A and B are shown apart, each in its own frame.
Chain A
Amino acid sequence: RPVLLSVICSPPQNYPLYIRSIPTENELKFHYTVHTSLDVVDEKISAMGKALVDQRELYLGLLYPTEDYKVYGYVTNSKVKFVMVVDSSNTALRDNEIRSMFRKLHNSYTDIMCNPFYNPGDRINSRAFDNMVNSMMMQVC
């Protein structure tokens, strides 16, 4: 069961702006995972002094014996957090790929920001963004 969940959370309260998961069952569990991992992300941010743009984190520590999955995080300069949950059975996913996925997410997010009709803090309803995320996730799964 390949699983991929990507969440974009915005500062300051880390509301999720966008959640997409494939497949769509058991979503709540992953939401919870993401939520808990946000604390770890914040921790890492505060720990980092200079390098704020953390390309990725590998949460091997969150691997449960039963359900093994990895959580990756990415933070932009404006403290927008991207979290990705990947099933560990997807060993094909390498670090570089995760990084490139985050980069794509970041670019698309920037494009959304350029849209004057988008208010920062709103849920992301962009079709273009959805298409991008879908295609990205399809590539992985």
Chain B
Amino acid sequence: ITEVCGAKRVGYFGPAQFYIALKLIAAAQSGFPVRIESIKNELPLPRFMALKNDSEVRYGTPAELHGVKFQVPHATSEKNSYKRADEGDKQEPKSPPMSPICSPPASPSTYQRIPLSYGYGKSRSGLEQQHAAPYEVRHSTHQQDGPSSGNYGAKPALASSTLNRSLSAEREQPESSAHYSDDPWRITEEQRDYYINQFRSLQPDLNSFISGSVAKNFFTKSKLPIPELSHIWELSDVDCDGALTLPEFCAAFHLVVARKNGYQLPETLPETLLPEYLQAASLKPMRDCALFDSYSESLPGGQQARDFSRTEKASAEEVPDNSALLQDAKKEDKQALKVGTPLKMIPKEFQHLTVKTAAQESNALRARPRSRSYSSTSIEDAMKKGEEPPTPPPRPQKSHSRASSLDLNKIFQQNTQAVRSGWLPPPPPALPPRPSVSQTEQVSEVELHPQMNRAPSQAEENSSAKKEVVLAQPPSKPTRRKLRTETQGLETPELSPTINVTSSLPAVKPHLPVQKQSSKQKRAIQTAIRKNKEANAVLARLNSELQQQLKEVHKERIALETQLEQLRPVTVL
């Protein structure tokens, strides 16, 4: 292109060369050969940013491979023609704009580089949004440039030769991102989220299919002609089963969007829209999304992660592809135990949420809920669905194996009673949010079933508070949690035969002194238990507070998302 437009001959990109180059770029993108005659065709505007805001360079190697093809000829040709490219090349790809900004008076050429790199770097708009500091100066111009590629005309007027330099300097990473944005067949993060939302509106289960008729109705709304829709379907339904999985749906939607924006439909499905590619690609975008970071990276384990991811999906509107999370989970199993470290980017509330829900999920895992229903979007519902099948039977049995002697049980009874009486005040304030946490309800149901005669509040407080402790604990100790709950479960049934009236707690104490065989041990254990329970209470309170916060934030988020969705369809479809 550089050669054809005459820049190579002249040695720089003058306005004429620049215009011709842009036309040629557009021609090349539309599939025309790069020749002078091509610019006479009726060309769409060259798309440096394509249809959507390009996101980040994080698309990684698969995308870069695609990008390389497009850019290598570009790079080599342009690099050859650049005579003064040294200065730019030496600098870091992202920082060339920095140098002019930092040292504007260096030379008029360097100064000119800024607006030039604006013009060219429209493709980097997404990239630069990530790097706020160096690009603040250009950010506003970028935004302006973004929607109107016609601004390209204005840009060449500002500079000449330095265009080459900036182009070559910003070759590596911006190129890849430029190519990402150039490629109309690549789905960006934003688009993917939108598609996933649309998918969910048609079919709550992200793992399942959208049937043909549903998809037909949906895509017919896009007002594309039926033969084109038929062709889009042919392209995107790779396995030809008459139904669209999530990646297939994303591909189809993407094709619809592209078509509506004027792109011709390809004859074959582009690589970037293949289901395998989409599933693989959806991994990386997920990681960088702050919310999803918390969800995916805090997964305690493979299966736990799966359950977690499923319920989290139900709770969060912008839920990533399930398979993406699955793969994320598998990849991050090792990290899973360390909930804290990956969550550095996330607000604390989410961290706690993940800890809490991860813990919940690990609890739920015991019950092995195979919930894959996403009809509800609230966290509470998600948690309920995640923990619907209770597992009352196993626990008491296992606890038998653990609690070797009856004395131990009665010790616990004694402790719980001793603690409970002094312990009653703290739990009540934390009670209200707890009933919404159905898991605790269920667990307390499960464990308290034998003790219906007991004061439900006390029992709930007791076991649910313990549950909260259990929940708040790091998910890396599932077995220990089991122990705890089992012992709790054990002690509660054990208590029922002995205790009949709630208020008669102190009355039970006279029974206990009978067993003074190992009183010292008992006391030691009791103090330990008391401390643990106090800690439990504190954590329970914290838990409930955080839950409140989370609910509020969640509501805000839902409100914002609905606003966004209302705004968005106006532009896309």
A interface residues (Cβ-Cβ under 8 A, vs B): 110-118, 125-128, 131
Contact = CB atoms under 8 A, between A and B. Distances in A.
Contacts of B215: 116
Contact of B231 (A110, A114, A116, A126): A126
B2 to A, nearest CB: 36
Contacts of A117: 216, 219, 226-227, 229-230, 233
18 contacts: A112-B234, A114-B237, A114-B242, A115-B230, A115-B234, A115-B237, A116-B213, A117-B216, A117-B219, A117-B227, A117-B229, A117-B233, A118-B230, A125-B227, A125-B230, A126-B231, A126-B234, A127-B267
A114 B240 contact: yes
B383 to A, nearest CB: 36
B227 A115 contact: no
Contacts of B219: 117
A102 B538 CA distance: 74
B37 interface: no
A54 B229 CA distance: 34
Contacts of A115: 212, 230, 233-234, 237, 242
B42 interface: no
A127 B234 contact: yes
Nearest to A118: B230
Nearest to A107: B240
B284 to A, nearest CB: 31
Contacts of A112: 234
Contacts of A125: 227, 230
B70 to A, nearest CB: 25
Nearest to A119: B226
A126 B233 CA distance: 10
Interface of B: 211-213, 215-216, 219, 226-227, 229-231, 233-234, 237, 240-242, 267
Contacts of B267: 127, 131
Nearest first, the 4 closest Cβ-Cβ pairs linking A and B are A116-B212, A114-B242, A116-B216, A117-B230
The dominant DSSP class at the B interface is helix
B232 to A, nearest CB: 8
Contacts of B213: 116
B212 A114 contact: yes
Nearest to B225: A117
Nearest to A117: B230
A117 B236 CA distance: 13
Given A126-B234, A127-B234, A127-B267, A116 B227 contact: no
Contacts of A116: 211-213, 215-216, 233, 242
B259 to A, nearest CB: 14
Tell which of B216, B231, B234 has the most Cβ of chain A within 10 Å.
Answer: B234
A116 B202 CA distance: 16
Nearest to B241: A114
A125 B227 CA distance: 7
Nearest to B211: A116
Nearest to A115: B233
Nearest to B210: A116
A117 B227 CA distance: 8
Nearest to B243: A114
A126 B267 CA distance: 11
A117 B212 CA distance: 8
Nearest to B226: A117
Contacts of A128: 234
Contacts of B240: 110-111, 114
A18 to B, nearest CB: 14
A105 to B, nearest CB: 15
A49 B509 CA distance: 88
Contacts of B216: 116-117
Contact of A127 (B212, B229, B231, B237): B231
Nearest to A128: B234
Given A114-B212, A116-B215, A126 B230 contact: yes
Contacts of A118: 230
Contacts of B233: 115-117
Given A112-B234, A115-B212, 8 more contacts: A114-B237, A116-B211, A116-B215, A117-B219, A117-B229, A118-B230, A126-B230, A126-B231
B213 to A, nearest CB: 6
A115 B232 CA distance: 10
A125 B231 CA distance: 9
Contacts of A114: 212, 237, 240-242
A110 B219 CA distance: 21
